[in-house]
Structure 1
Amino acid sequence: MAVIHEKEIALLTYYLKGLGLGAGLIVAIGSQNAHVLRMGLQRQHVALTVLVCIVCETLLIAAGVAGVGAAIERQPLLVDLARWGGASFLAWYGLRAWRSAFAPQALQARASAQLNLRQALLTVLAVTLLNPHVYLDTVLLLGTVGAQQGPQQKWWFAAGAMSAALVWFTLLGFGARLLSHWFVKPAAWRMLDGVIGAVMLLLAATLILQPG
């Protein structure tokens, strides 16, 4: 019984390690979190947005731990394509946010620009999968650390990281409405759009300027 108890504690340790590292990477502000926050504040397709983010993160974590990250790292062309394609998308997204920030009648325009189900799905997929940071952090970094934990332990590590994604995106998407009373004024929306635009452009710049 004591041996079984010690084994369970050891596996829990790997789970908590994955939970901590996963939370540290996922909670950091970026394009995906900014989009989930925006959709939560606007109350547009929140469940769909949160679900897609959780599913994508779960699959990417599993792929990284299974060894896909190491395989991608050995293909410089794929890394470069992801880098430049992601930088272009992030720059476009950032400039669009700044355009909204400086547009007159921001709230009225935003209210009429509702996304349909297909548009919401494609947008969250693009924000998630066209950002190279998701592969660098989730697939390469988490995958590399997870693969070092051992054949059984690495999946407990992965489960912890997946749990972090589940909890974070659920809280961010459905909890955003608690902040909605701050966004009844156009100035608050313009400030949010300005911050989002700055984050996106900064991420794009870091991708372009980082060593090849």
Structure 2
Amino acid sequence: MTEAFIHGLILAFGLILPLGVQNVFVFNQGALQKRFIHAFPVVLTASICDTLLITLAVFGVSLMVLGSFWIKTILLTTGMVFLFYMGWSTWKSTPAAEKGKNENTAKETFTPLKQVVLSASVSLLNPHAIMDTVGVIGTSSLQYNGSEKMAFALACILVSWIWFVGLAVAGRITGEIDKSGRLMRIFNKISALVMWGAAIYIGFTLII
């Protein structure tokens, strides 16, 4: 069981580490919010969504969803629309350091509800996240049974929760250091481009 747990830790960390839409969004919200607690909705949502995907992947339920052409098409199309919208919102967002200069920009900070909706969209409607969990974690879990399979799943879930909390904290620290807002303004533009790039990629997968 210990071997399965360690395997899950290493595998999940390797999958979640690369820069992706989900990581970018969590980090960005950590930096933009005035206090870390205000970014908690996005952290909680991303963690719960990953927990759901990992659980479905390990126990095979998600294979039924991906096996349906229409369900997969609807999910990918919805995800593409959300990513274009998120990219536009992120491109226009104002760093927290600049918001104090103009009270009218305060409304651009994502509300808890908006954080939850957008975080869920990049988590559950992200083809990369789905293929990572189903294609890699789900497949890797086939070698385990019973308590070992449970230990493997728990390890993957644990990595997700720790990672997203750490990302939000790193974002908050960056936001505090970047008093001028210049660094976060650049990061916002890069984040938007990553989201638009992911949306375009989804569009190609739908066409092909």
TM-score where L is the length of structure 1: 0.81
State the Cα deviation string for residues 26-80 of structure 1 (Å, max 9, x = none). Answer: 2222222122112211236222221222222112211111111222232122222
Partner of residue 62 from structure 1, selected from 55, 58, 76: 55
Alignment equivalent of 2:139, drawn from 107, 119, 144: 144
Distance 1:185 1:191, change over 3 A: same
TM-score when scaled to structure 2? 0.83
Contact 2:29 2:168 in 1 (8 A): yes
Matching residue within 15, 40, 44 for 1:25: 15
In the alignment, does 2:12 pair up with 1:34? no
Gaps of 5+ in 1: 1-10
Question: Which deviations, in whole Å up to 9, do the C-alpha atoms of 1:177-205 show, x marking residues without a partner?
Answer: 22224422232222011110111111112
| Distance in 1, Cα, partners of 2:151 & 2:4 | 6
Q: Which has the larger Rg? A: 1
Q: Deviations over 1:141-189 (max 9, x none)?
A: 3122213333432222111111110210111112322222442223222
Q: Which is further off, 73-82 or 196-205?
A: 73-82
2:88 matched to which residue of 1?
95
Letter in 2 for 1:177: R
AA in 2 matched with 1:16: I
Aligned counterpart, 1:125? 120
User: How far apart are the structure 2 equivalents of 1:96 and 1:34?
Assistant: 13
Partner Cα distance (2:162, 2:111) in 1: 26
Aligned-partner Cα distance in 1 for 2:112–2:88:
24
Aligned equivalents of 2:198 and 2:163: distance in 1?
21
> Which ranges of structure 2 fall in alignment gaps of 5 or more residues?
none
Quick one: distance in 1 between partners of 2:82 and 2:105?
21
- CA RMSD, 1 decimal: 2.5
Deviation at 1:106, TM superposition (A): 5.8
Q: Which residue of 1 aligns with 2:79?
A: 86
The within-5 A match list for 1:163-182 is: 163-182=158-177
Asked if the contact 1:40–1:174 (Cα under 8 Å) also holds between the matched residues in 2, the reply is yes
Maintained 8 Å contact 1:68/1:139: no
Kept in 2, the 8 Å contact 1:106–1:190? The answer is: no
**Once the two structures are aligned, what percentage of the paired residues are identical?**
27
Counterpart among 181, 189, 202 of residue 194 in structure 1: 189
Moved over 4 A (4+): none
Is the contact between residue 69 and residue 144 of structure 1 (CA under 8 Å) also seen in structure 2? no
